[in-house]
């Protein structure tokens, strides 16, 4: 089992002041090759993935989210939290941009409401990471059957091949993914909730991205990307517990 306490684990979401220089994670382990590549957003499973943008004055947060229903999407809970005001963003200031690429998108919807997983404390993120996920209710139905991603009904095993892709801070206008990675271990947060550890490269902005698994031609979600560590070549994912019940 990997010891999370030895990581410089940090949320993968990015909050920046408009006009301010974005700060990328500090690299302490040398330079590693970047396995991420642009993906085709009109092909599965990326047809169901979009960019999440929350604004409050000059503050803007960008993350990633995935459709899990006609008008519902899954993301990380900390993506909806304004660290300046120590409160969650107003729903009208949060938007989901489906199929975002180079300032265009397939569909856009405001977030009408959202539910944070029980037990998540954004001011004690490290201890409550296992609850760092949220279900968004959109004000438009963007989730056609060919775009909706289903949730796995059982946790991923160690060694399972996974894919993680999102709108990272260093490639904000395109969706990039690390495709050749695996679940390294399962662990728990400070409250006993389960977490997945994987070796996909995931930088800031990737928070909320689905941890995807392929079974033949079918793609499903096995977790929600919430944090990175070890020069962003390791990732931590929460395991949503029946998010469909939150719709």
pLDDT of residue 231: 63
What is the arithmetic mean of pLDDT over 97-120?
Answer: 97
The residue with tokens 């709108």 is 167
Tally DSSP H helices, then E strands, for the chain: 0, 18
Does residue 244 register a pLDDT over 70?
no
Q: What pLDDT is stored for residue 20 in this prediction?
A: 35
User: Residue range 4-28: average pLDDT?
Assistant: 42
Query: Which residue blocks in 136-238 are alpha helix, DSSP H?
Result: none
In which element (H, E) is residue 159 found?
A: none
Name residues whose C-beta falls within 8 Å of residue 10's C-beta, 6 or more positions apart in sequence: 25, 204, 227, 228, 229
Domain borders along the chain are 9-16+33-41+149-246, 46-138
Asked, colleague to colleague, whether 9-16+33-41+149-246 and 46-138 share their fold, the answer is: yes
What percent of the chain shows pLDDT beyond 90?
Answer: 71
| pLDDT 10s digits, 195-232 | 999 999 878 879 999 999 998 889 999 999 999 876 66
The confidence band for 242, taking pLDDT boundaries of 50, 70 and 90, is low
- Find tokens 């796995």 and name the residue: 152
Distance CA 203, CA 32 (A): 13
Condensed to tens digits (0 to 9), the pLDDT of residues 128-146 reads 999 999 999 999 999 999 9
Q: Which residue has the tokens 């490290």?
A: 126
Please tell me whether the peptide bond between 197 and the residue prior to it is cis, using omega within 30 degrees of 0.
no
**Structure-block tokens of residue 130:** 């296992």
Q: Domain 9-16+33-41+149-246 classified CATH 3.50.50.60?
A: no
Beta bridge partners of 135: 74, 115
Q: What is the mean pLDDT of residues 100-129?
A: 97
- The predicted pLDDT at position 213 comes to 97
Q: Which residue has the higher pLDDT, 177 or 246?
A: 177
Multiple choice CATH, 46-138, 2.40.10.10, 3.10.105.10, 1.10.3720.10, 3.40.50.2000: 2.40.10.10
- Confidence (pLDDT) at 33: 67
Look at residue 182 in the predicted model and tell me its pLDDT.
97
- At residue 179, φ and ψ (nearest 5 deg) are -105, -25
> In whole angstroms, what is the distance from residue 108 CA to residue 103 CA?
12
pLDDT 10s digits, 62-74: 999 999 999 999 9
Q: For the chain, what is the mean pLDDT? A: 86
């Amino acid at each position: 089992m990997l010891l999370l306490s030895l990581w410089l684990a940090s949320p993968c979401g990015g909050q920046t002041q408009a006009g301010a220089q974005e700060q990328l994670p500090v690299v302490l382990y040398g330079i590693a090759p970047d396995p991420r590549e642009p993906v085709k957003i009109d092909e599965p499973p990326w047809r169901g993935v979009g960019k999440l943008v929350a604004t409050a004055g000059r503050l803007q947060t960008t993350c990633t989210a995935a459709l899990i229903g006609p008008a519902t999407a899954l993301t990380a809970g900390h993506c909806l939290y304004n660290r300046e005001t120590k409160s969650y963003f107003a729903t009208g200031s949060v938007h989901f941009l489906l199929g975002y690429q180079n300032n265009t998108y397939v569909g856009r919807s405001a977030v009408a409401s959202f539910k944070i997983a029980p037990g998540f404390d954004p001011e004690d993120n490290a201890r409550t990471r296992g609850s760092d996920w949220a279900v968004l209710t959109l004000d438009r139905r963007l989730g056609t059957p060919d775009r909706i991603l289903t949730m796995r009904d059982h946790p991923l095993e160690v060694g399972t091949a996974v894919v993680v892709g999102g709108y990272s801070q260093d490639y904000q206008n395109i969706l990039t993914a690390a495709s050749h990675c695996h679940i390294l271990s399962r662990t728990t947060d400070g409250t006993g909730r389960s977490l997945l550890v994987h070796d996909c490269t995931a930088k800031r902005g990737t928070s909320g991205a689905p941890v995807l698994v392929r079974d033949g031609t079918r793609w499903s979600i096995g977790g929600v990307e919430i944090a990175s560590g070890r020069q962003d070549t390791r990732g931590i994912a929460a395991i949503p517990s029946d998010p469909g019940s939150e719709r």
